[in-house]
Amino acid sequence: MLKLFFLLISLTISLFPSNPIAFASLGNQIYNSAENIKKLIAISSFYPYKKRINNYLVKVKKAKQLGFSLDENTPAKTRKEYLITLRKLSDENNYYHRLAQKTLESSIKKEDSLLFSNIINSGLIDRKANKKRILHYYFAHKKEINPAGLIQSYLDEDAKRKHKRKGLRVKRVIKKSKEEDKIARLRARDKARKRALEERLERELQEKKKEIIEQQKEELLKSL
């Protein structure tokens, strides 16, 4: 029953996508960033951009509504207008991402830890490209910064990676130890076989010598 419930949810999600399908490669970037751009309003240094951001979000909402209304019967002119709208919104979306990046760099330069924390958790920062500088600043200002959010995800990733590397090292050590034990067992077995062979050959040699001596005795007795 529970599996059926989750299956129905999955089907519902697939049937009702969160973003318009038309020109999705362009639209998804805009729609998925909208909530993160909205977060900028709560950052004091972005107060001068409040009106502009709100206007942008209104345009994004209208564009999304238009996108959902498109279907195979939509006139080419309307589809083209939607595409033009997306391109304009994409330029502004990229502008806010660049602005967030500049704000990050400025917060590091000015050692503004509050602004630093707010901007890295806005979701507009390239987490991979900025990881090194973000962690470097964090460790230098650890007492001023709550790691919750992006920094904690970095720390968790690194801890997981270290644990994995440690596990691999342990596996290699165990594997090496097993291989050394196997080699030692093989050497011991070969040594035992060699010793057994030498002992057998020695016994055969002694028996042969004894046999020759007995034959010589018999021949000597016959000659008397």
**35 Cβ partners below 8 Å, 6+ apart?**
123
User: Could you report the per-residue pLDDT of 138-177, keeping only the tens digit for each?
Assistant: 999 999 999 999 999 999 998 888 877 766 676 777 777 7
The total domain count for the chain is: 2
For residue 85, give the nearest of 104, 66, 103, 111 by alpha carbon. Answer: 66
Q: Mark whether 159 and 201 lie in a shared domain.
A: yes
pLDDT band at 22 (very low <50, low <70, confident <90, very high): very high
Average pLDDT over residues 32-37: 97
Residue 50 within any structural domain of the chain: yes
Same domain, 26 and 110: yes
Q: Within this chain, do residues 134 and 52 fall inside the same structural domain, yes or no?
A: yes
Give the model confidence (pLDDT) of 108-126 as tens digits: 999 999 999 999 999 999 9
Q: Are 122 and 40 in contact (CB under 8 A)?
A: yes
Q: Are residues 95 and 28 in the same domain?
A: yes
Looking at the fold, whether 175 and 219 belong to one and the same domain comes out as yes
Spatial distance between the Cα atoms of 123 and 89, rounded to a whole number of angstroms: 18
48 occurs within a structural domain = yes
Domain housing 200? 150-224
| Pair (114, 200) in one structural domain | no
Q: Which of 23, 201, 15, 40 is nearest to 119 (CA)?
A: 40
* 94 and 53 in a common domain: yes
**Residues 6 or more apart from 125 whose CB is under 8 A from it?**
100, 101, 104, 119, 134, 150
| Band of residue 224 on the pLDDT scale cut at 50, 70, 90 | low
pLDDT in tens, 82-93: 999 999 999 999
Residues 103 and 170 both lie in one domain: no
Give the closest residue to 117 by CA, choosing from 96, 138, 140: 138
Q: Which of 146, 165, 181 is the last residue of a domain?
A: 146
Place of tokens 């924390």: 117
45 located within any domain: yes
Segment 178-187 mean pLDDT:
78
- 71, containing H or E segment: none
Note the pLDDT of residue 123. Answer: 94
Percentage of the chain beyond pLDDT 90 is 62
Residue where one domain finishes, among candidates 95, 119, 146? 146
- Residue 125 resides in a domain: yes
Take residue 215 and report the two structure tokens written for it: 């034959």
Q: Output the six-digit token pair for 128.
A: 């991979």
Task: For CA atoms 67, 69, 73, 76, give the dihedral sign.
Answer: negative
Q: What pLDDT does residue 11 have?
A: 42
Note the pTM of the prediction, 2 decimals: 0.67
What are 107's two structure tokens? Answer: 């917060």
